[in-house]
Copies of this chain bind each other. A is one copy, B any other.
Amino acid sequence: MAKTNPGNFFEDYHLGQRIQHAVPRTVSGGERALYHALYPARHALQSSDEFARGCGLPGAPLDDLAAFHVVFGKTVPDVSLNAVANLGYAEGRFLKPVYPGDTLRSVSEVIGLKQNSNGKTGVVYVRTQGLNQDGEVVLDYVRWVMVRKRDLDAPAPDPVIPDLARVVPAADLAIPQGLDFSRYDFALAGDPHRMADYETGEIIDHVDGVTIEEAEHMMATRLWQNTAKVHFDATFRGGGQRLIYGGHVMSMARALSFNGLANAQIIAGINAGAHANPCFAGDTVRAWSEVLDKAETPAPGVGALRLRLVATKGGEAGQLRDTDGRYLPHVLLDLDYWVLMPV
């Protein structure tokens, strides 16, 4: 009897299936320090307890993407160990900040299944929730992946493609309890620009670049207990190259976006996301953003800005797709998300 986890194959999923993912995790100041060592993260709200208190929170939460990675990492052994591709994200909402001392676990529900016409793979849609020690949902998102079949003769399920919102409505974004930007300290935050200074359609080049090292992406990916072989084992693919966890690029780009969006303090929603091309050690990652929308929130002084965050390994800010609509080869990530910032 094999005791190792072979992961799930396409025919192992069924609609409505609930998966309790393993290995709960308590986070501490250690995770916060490592996040700041691995990424050039500088948003003041996640860097300083004092600044966070000045914004009505009890202390500095963990970076929102750190919480995302912890929740996501737990799903890998059950959802994407036999995945061919991570296809998309939708309806992501950050419902409660995660603080040092919190313990996170993840559960998923299969909400869609569609076998591909080649009969070898299928698409699995899961809604994943991250829960804290009090059972409160801190994060809720949908992702879909293409998964191999083990038995090509297994019957195809009735295809069900969930009806997913293209964008999380601003009114559905959760505002952390107590959040108040009405006495926001722009000088300490490092940027004078409030939401009113950003225009829909505006492109922001974040200027800085970081050349990626193997040791760093592996440490990050392990920290989130993401175990996909392809990130760690240089012998697994041809050419001795390890594929970098897409979330590493996401965090790198988000951190780089400080330079131009320092006041985009809190990630409130993920509308869509694509890992457009793979990233490897030696690539120099840069980022640019496009302002997609603006919205008000009921919290004092708090607005919501919808942004496209693009990570690249070359090219110019604003260049995303070729004339056929395909991502340009230097584009690594295209993330559509909501942030909370001073109005």
Residues of A within 8 A of B (CB): 1, 3-5, 20, 22-34, 36-42, 44, 47-51, 59-60, 77, 100-101, 103, 105, 133, 187-191, 193, 197-198, 204-211, 213-216, 218-220, 222-223, 225, 227, 229, 232-236, 242, 259-262, 284
Chain B residues lying within 8 Å of A216, measured Cβ to Cβ, are 215, 218-219
Contact of A37 among B220, B232, B262 (CB under 8 A): B220
* Extra contacts besides A3-B193, A4-B207, A213-B214 (20): CB < 8 Å: A3-B191, A4-B204, A4-B260, A5-B191, A20-B187, A22-B188, A23-B42, A24-B50, A28-B33, A29-B30, A33-B34, A37-B220, A38-B222, A40-B225, A47-B225, A209-B232, A209-B233, A210-B233, A211-B232, A234-B284
| Contact A206-B4, Cβ < 8 Å, known A213-B215, A223-B36 | yes
| Contact A188-B227, Cβ < 8 Å, known A197-B1, A222-B40 | no
Q: Is B133 within 8 A of A219, CB to CB?
A: no
- Of A51, A77, A232, the most chain B CB neighbours within 10 A belong to A232
Total copies of the chain:
3
Chain B residues lying within 8 Å of A193, measured Cβ to Cβ, are 3
Q: Is B3 within 8 A of A189, CB to CB?
A: no
Chain B residues lying within 8 Å of A208, measured Cβ to Cβ, are 227, 229, 232-233
| Contact A188-B20, Cβ < 8 Å, known A33-B33, A214-B213, A215-B213 | yes
Q: How far is the CB of A67 from chain B (nearest CB, A)?
A: 14
Q: Is B26 within 8 A of A223, CB to CB?
A: no
Q: Is B3 within 8 A of A261, CB to CB?
A: yes
Specify the chain B residue showing the minimal Cβ separation from A219: B37
CA of A169 to CA of B127, assembled, Å = 48
| Contact A225-B42, Cβ < 8 Å, known A209-B233, A216-B218, A235-B209 | yes
- Of A59, A60, A213, A260, the most chain B CB neighbours within 10 A belong to A213
Q: Is B48 within 8 A of A225, CB to CB?
A: no
Specify the chain B residue showing the minimal Cβ separation from A77: B190
Contact of A284 among B1, B20, B209, B235 (CB under 8 A): B235
CA of A49 to CA of B27, assembled, Å = 9
Chain B residues lying within 8 Å of A189, measured Cβ to Cβ, are 22-23
Q: Is A49 within 8 A of B26, CB to CB?
A: yes
CA of A205 to CA of B40, assembled, Å = 36
Mind listing 29 A-B residue pairs with CB under 8 Å?
A3-B193, A4-B207, A20-B188, A22-B187, A22-B188, A22-B189, A22-B190, A23-B42, A23-B48, A24-B50, A25-B48, A28-B28, A30-B30, A30-B34, A33-B34, A36-B225, A38-B219, A40-B227, A47-B225, A48-B103, A50-B133, A210-B232, A211-B214, A211-B233, A211-B235, A211-B242, A215-B216, A216-B218, A233-B284
CA of A332 to CA of B47, assembled, Å = 32
Q: Is A223 within 8 A of B37, CB to CB?
A: yes
Q: Is B26 within 8 A of A28, CB to CB?
A: no
Specify the chain B residue showing the minimal Cβ separation from A50: B103
Chain B residues lying within 8 Å of A44, measured Cβ to Cβ, are 22-24
CA of A236 to CA of B211, assembled, Å = 10
Q: Is A213 within 8 A of B209, CB to CB?
A: no
